[in-house]
Structure 1
Amino acid sequence: MDATTATPSLRRHSLDAVLGHAWDAEAFTASDVMAHVGLTRSTTIDVLDELAGRGLLTEMPNARAVGEYSKGRPARRFAFRPDAGLVVGVDAGRGHVTATVADLRGTPLATSRLTVDPERDDPGRRRRAAEATVEATLKRARRARGDIVALSVGVPAPVDRAGRSPAHHDGFWERMNPGFVDTFASWSPVVRVENDASLAAVAERARGAAVGCDDFVALLAGERFGAGVWVDGRLLRGAHGGAGETVAFDRVDGVGSALGLAPRCVDAARAAIAAGILPSDSALSRADPKTLDAKTVLDLAAAGDTGALAVAREVGGALAGVAGMFGSLFDVGRVIVSGAIASGAEPIIAAAVAALPRALDLPAPDIVASPLGADIVSIGAVAAAVDAARAHALDLEAFALPHDHGRA
């Protein structure tokens, strides 16, 4: 490698390393950066000055001014500027669109939610709904489109590396992802579109039940199963974005379909009521099958109702099959039950854990509940947008040096 290519590469490496440290740190000095990154003092100071010139750092009052330094030259102190730009996370679900505007560290500034008719999921209507929701959220945050540096969208469809979904036999995937990567190209210099379960995996890795875990599956488990697969420290997608696609469960004994835990609970409970096989002391036996929902079944199970616990054991057997399949295919250490149903899923998880050791030869994955709740896809969308902003910050015109603006 000659000097003309080596110097820019080394410079970029130094900028990336220092920015990476600054993004996660509180106020810091050049010595702090040197200890974490391993650059010389002169290079560190030069890089810090450039990042400040790009608007990504701000120089703080020096250490003497804040009482941390008494002798010698006071150390210059810097801090990352999370307000230097905006990221946007969009959960474009089957029956809703939720948008969150956040700063560069992912701290939410405003959120808006729009309910959409799932029976009228025309591609144009979905695009307009997503745009309107983002626009409303920007207005709530009192910010403008020009402040956005990265935007991420989660959709209930496979998504490839380019942000596009493959053709589906009834057009469902194309309707769920009607070219969002193009829709928002004029809104943000970086647009990342992902499968919703993949964003659940991003959320779990960032701040959920998979922090520090490199091999896990985030299982959106409400109405239908959706799986975000994280192996060897990275998100798996596949050639068409279909890694973890759950149509395969149609052919798995004991699972039978991609139906999620909620309808399985209701179906099993209704079948037990109709067959008259529930214990006479079970409150579930007296429930109205027509109005029965999964929350009622799981609340009763959590309270120790014998009939509801029997239902949980039945559904837990199916969850064990799902976890066993992912454990066998991907050798993950953890399967995380994610989404709104996670908060009440402990009786099902306990039953699945009891059944799982018989399911596979590899060490069984742990099955745990997510702490992130119903907003997990939105949380993941914001985290993915932050990741995208971090990866591309030095290439964005918003963070160019003053003399480079307009040439990016």
Structure 2
Amino acid sequence: MRKALLTGAALAALLSAPVAAQVSKQVYQLHQKLLTLDTHLDTPASLDLPGWSIEEEHDVLHDYTQVDLPRMKKGGLDGGFWAIYTSQGPLTIEGFHKARDFAIMRGLSIRNMVAADPANFALATEAKDAAPIAAAGKRVVYMSIENAYPLGEDVSLLDTFYAMGVRVVGFAHFAHNQFADSSTDPSGKPRYGGLSPLGKELLKEMNRLGVVPDASHSSDQVLDDLLALSTTPVLLTHSGCKAVYDHPRNIDDAHLKALAAKGGVIQMNAYGAYLRASKPNPQRQEALKALYGQMREGAKLSAEKRAELLAKRQEIDKLYPDTDRPGFDDFMKHMLHALEVVGPDHVGIGADWDGGGGVVGMEDVADLPKITAALLKAGYSEADVQKIWSGNVLRVLAAAEAAKGK
């Protein structure tokens, strides 16, 4: 699963990254040879931005994006699961069709990224694909779906997305949908008490195809149903620990242990609002809400309009600075707690890059060597760190592949 050691010149070039001052040369080189995968990259949304290129290095403080090819190289990120994310819309035929079309086009954006640069990106569809892709110096592109809403009421549509390359699917997002209860539905009340009957049919189809069930964003009762009904292990692609911060998006220790008992893995989130409570900043929240209303998904932004919105965002940061953002230590508290509860065979990393993830001290993927350094400092072995960075999620994917059709 390892890549070849970097040459002196290559290492020197990468060590010019700012994170190099925060980790030792030895740790940095170890990190670079590990096979590193993040299970929740919302970066496909960036691919459709006017004038934005995955090939160019961007600045998180300027355009707020967190993943591109140069920063992946600096941060030693080999790739991961690139998400087809669709926000929750109305549970109507019109809503389903609109979401389906959007999701298919977003999936094609991912495939086009790979096709446009085969020297640097390669599609992966099986667990065994990741290591040789990384060894060849390319970025690994698995595909996932965040929110199964675009599948409408026809679970056979999953076949289309499977053929496209999707291998992980999450059932719900911020609100209940036709398949499952969300952990954060605005009603505060369950709709089904777990998976809906259609959700159970979708799980059967996922098991048949070899698609990994993702319980992030879904309610605890959905996780209970998945653990009881799935023929394969369950993944939490980007979640945290309720024992560290009691938030509906986080998982309690009992569920962590149940997840691990069935071979599943929790991939640790770096979404600040789920890591700890922060001081209220209502003026900032209102300003951002108004801004985001102008940047709704699916809107065809011109380069000029995007530049205007970015300028507004930068102005908001100046007028109402976020002075109580969670930091890297807050992220590590969740990870170290999960490791203490279920051990290094059942923990991984899914930081929610380009989807709200990122903390003070770990603003984009160039900072990822800090995680390896922190894990080693906490006493975890190189073998443990390799499991956390990719071994565990690849084991879950392999289990889904082995069980398909049974």
Q: TM-score, normalised by structure 1?
A: 0.31
Task: Tell me which protein shows more strand as a share of its residues.
Answer: 1
Using CA pairs under 8 Å that are at least 6 residues apart, name the structure with larger relative contact order, 1 or 2: 2
Q: Which entry has the higher C-alpha Rg, 1 or 2? A: 1
Q: TM-score, normalised by structure 2?
A: 0.31
